[in-house]
Amino acid sequence: MADESYEAIVAEQVGEKFTQSVKECLLSDLPDNDVLIRVHYSSLNYKDALSATGHKGITKFYPFTPGIDAAGIVAISNSALFSEGDEVIVTSYDLGMNTPGGFGQYISVPADWIVPLPKNLSLKESMTIGTSGLTAAIGIDKLTRHSFNQDSPEALVTGATGGVGSFAVALLAHLNYRVVAATGKMDQADFLTSLGAGTVIHRDDVLNVPENPLLSSRWPAAIDTVGGKILDSILRQVSHNGFVACCGNVLGNQLDTSILPFILRGITLAGIDSGIARMELRKTIWNKLADEWKPAALHKLAREVKLHDLPKEIEAILNGKQIGKVLVNLL
């Protein structure tokens, strides 16, 4: 392939600020990896917004193209695992962190980062799910394997209007759980109900509880996407043999809680990090999401934007204004 140009969002420092704009880039500027992929769709994650605004804990060198998610078609392959024309998904690893990411029309990545697109899933659907959906699904996979009270399957989801939370609501409802969606955006109750939430509560109903080390049992299971004090409150309100999966830290990195729910109720706290998930697990979850785990409400989860729209969407997600998923069309 000739040294073609392609469009990409480029984050760079201008004075004391970081800006994001669409620029023409060259294929020769991409790293020399196994597989070159023509990206059709990506999606916006909080980590992308951090990379786009100069967070050196995410991205070390600028100018840079963020985007930890990408789905597209193999353009060139130097790996026996993939051939030209294959439809593929790439999420996390170093993509969009220090390897140019999915906010460009091409990416070049190692073959062992790539998941073949499963049957019954389109490239667009895969990025409607993206890293946030994969994260939620990994947590729900752990939940379904836990022996909590499956006769009364109810689950709390915090941060329910965000990317991970909204997908968790939709998937749990699809799997016939009674979903309690907790949010600070009560004006989005109808959106959460449309995804399958049976009850929508304000996050303060979870958070503003007595400081007792053990509280009345309220939920057998929870997917927590915000961390901090809310996670502490959930742990003290989960019922006997309950299960909590956590993946977020919007309310802080520290967890100050009581040991009593663990030793008197036998609850389980499990972490989720799709960024370092084993390839075997990735393929298993993606295949489920293409089949029996594909939520009926999938089409309600995302708004579609183009590259030129991303700067304002990045600002929105950093200010806590994102609802659901932002799907990026690079065609």
pLDDT of residue 2: 62
Identify whether the C-beta of residue 256 lies closer than 8 Å to the C-beta of residue 104.
no
Identify whether the C-beta of residue 71 lies closer than 8 Å to the C-beta of residue 117.
yes
Identify whether the C-beta of residue 95 lies closer than 8 Å to the C-beta of residue 101.
yes
The rounded distance, in Å, linking the Cα atoms of 169 and 194 is 10
Residue 80 neighbours by CB under 8 Å, 6+ apart: none
The dihedrals phi and psi of 172, each to the nearest 5 degrees, come to -60, -40
DSSP 99: B
Residue 13 neighbours by CB under 8 Å, 6+ apart: 19, 54, 62
Preceding omega of 213 cis (within 30 degrees of 0): no
The rounded distance, in Å, linking the Cα atoms of 42 and 103 is 7
pLDDT of residue 150: 63
Ordered domains of the chain (ranges, CATH): 5-117+301-329 (3.90.180.10), 132-274 (3.40.50.720)
pLDDT of residue 253: 86
List own/partner pairs for 279-287 with CB under 8 A and 24 or more apart. 279/112, 279/115, 281/138, 282/91, 282/115, 282/134, 283/115, 283/116, 285/134, 285/137, 285/138, 285/141, 286/89, 286/115, 286/118, 286/121, 286/126, 286/134, 287/118
Residue 107 structure tokens:
């990416």
pLDDT of residue 178: 95
Bridge partners (DSSP) listed for residue 199: 180
The pLDDT profile of the chain, 331 residues, written as one tens digit per residue, is 667 999 999 999 998 899 999 999 999 999 999 999 999 999 999 999 999 999 999 999 999 999 999 999 999 999 999 999 999 999 999 999 999 999 999 999 999 999 999 999 999 999 999 999 999 999 999 999 886 556 668 999 999 999 999 999 999 999 999 999 999 999 999 999 999 999 999 999 999 999 999 999 999 999 999 999 999 999 999 999 999 999 988 888 899 999 999 999 999 999 998 989 999 999 999 999 999 999 999 999 999 999 999 999 999 999 988 999 999 999 9
Which residue, 3, 283, 306, 233, is CA-closest to 115?
A: 283
**What is the end-to-end Cα distance of the chain in Å, rounded?**
19
